[in-house]
């Protein structure tokens, strides 16, 4: 089984030990649970979208296809900026 070694100062270790004691678990279990929870949180910040080949191709086509501007967009771009009036 793979192992992880940490160099940690005594103040941090004391904090970890106190928290682990409150939870009623070992230092190792506390560090594992905490680091796993942090890792999952970070991974969830970047959602993964899985697409099959056909859907992927449709997605790429949609990205590459220009969208015609709406009437409201055309009107906004046709206006003269305030600083030029």
78 in a structural domain: no
pTM, 2 dp: 0.56
1 in a structural domain: yes
74 in a structural domain: no
pLDDT given for residue 22 in this prediction:
98
24 in a structural domain: yes
pLDDT given for residue 1 in this prediction:
87
Domain extent at residue 14 = 1-65
Q: Total structural domains in the chain?
A: 1
Encode burial over 12-36: b for 16+ CB neighbours within 10 A, e otherwise: eeeebeeebeeeeeeeeebbeeeee
What are the 10-residue block averages of pLDDT along the chain, 85 residues in total?
A: 92 98 97 97 92 96 93 91 86
């Amino acid at each position: 089984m793979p192992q992880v070694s940490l160099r940690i100062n005594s103040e941090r270790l004391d904090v970890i030990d106190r928290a682990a004691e409150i939870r009623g678990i070992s230092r190792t279990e506390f560090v594992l649970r905490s680091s796993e929870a942090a890792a999952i949180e970070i991974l969830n910040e970047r959602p993964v979208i899985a697409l099959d080949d056909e859907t992927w191709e449709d997605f790429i086509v949609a990205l590459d296809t220009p969208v015609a501007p709406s009437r409201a967009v055309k009107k906004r771009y046709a206006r003269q900026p305030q600083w030029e009036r």
